Amino acid sequence: MQKTKIKKRIARGVAATLGVTLRVDANSTSCMGIYQPKAPEELSRYRKKK
C-alpha cells in the first residue's frame, strides 16, 4: 500500500512539471528543450536529399 501512494505522488509531480513546461514552451518564441540552430551550408553535402 505504501508503494501505491508513492507512485501516485510521483505521477502527480511529473504531470505538474510537464504541464508547467508545456505552458512555458507554448508561450515562448522557441522551445529550449528542442531548439536547433540553423545548420551551416557546409553540411548540405551530407544530406540524402539535395
Please give the pLDDT value at position 7: 94
Please give the pLDDT value at position 31: 55
User: CA-CA distance, 25 to 29, in Å (whole number)?
Assistant: 8
Let me know: does 25 contact 31? Beta carbons within 8 Å.
yes
31: how many CB neighbours lie within 10 A of its CB? 13
pTM of the model: 0.52
pLDDT, tens digit, 9 for 90 and up, residues 24-45: 766 666 555 666 677 678 767 7
- DSSP letter, residue 46: G
pLDDT, tens digit, 9 for 90 and up, residues 3-25: 899 999 999 999 999 888 877 76
Let me know: does 25 contact 32? Beta carbons within 8 Å.
yes
